[in-house]
A = this chain, B = another copy of it.
């Protein structure tokens, strides 16, 4: 079942490569900025990943949520920490966040299974 994780990452990588092979400087730089913004700074990497997660969730971007769930998972974030982050997203963003919450929960389970 963890194929859903690999499939997501494979499509993401393939299309990112195509986008970046294209000669558009603005897009390239935005991709680079993404790496910069989530690097250790005054705030640690884990906190920044949770910031990315909550922002993705309230903006209801499933792919962005999956991406930040995966980085959070590899940073050792616990399930309870993820749930508290997503509960803040649901409160601030409203019940329209709930369908994304369901899919986020499912993806987190896949990440845990893959690891297990």
Interface residues of A (CB under 8 A from B): 11-12, 15-16, 18-19, 22, 24-27, 29-30, 33-34, 36-38, 41-43, 47-48, 50-52, 54-56, 58-64, 78-81, 83-99, 101-103, 105-106, 109
B19 and A26: CB pair below 8 A? no
B61 and A59: CB pair below 8 A? no
- A50's contact among B30, B47, B61, B80, by CB below 8 Å, is which? B47
A15 to B86, CA, bound (A): 15
A97 and B94: CB pair below 8 A? yes
- A54's contact among B34, B54, B102, B105, by CB below 8 Å, is which? B54
CB pairs A–B below 8 angstroms (17 shown): A15-B106, A24-B84, A27-B83, A29-B36, A30-B33, A30-B87, A30-B95, A34-B91, A47-B47, A50-B51, A56-B96, A58-B59, A63-B98, A92-B96, A93-B93, A94-B94, A94-B96
- A96's contact among B26, B48, B61, by CB below 8 Å, is which? B61
Determine the residue in chain B with the shortest Cβ distance to A49.
B88
A56 to B60, CA, bound (A): 13
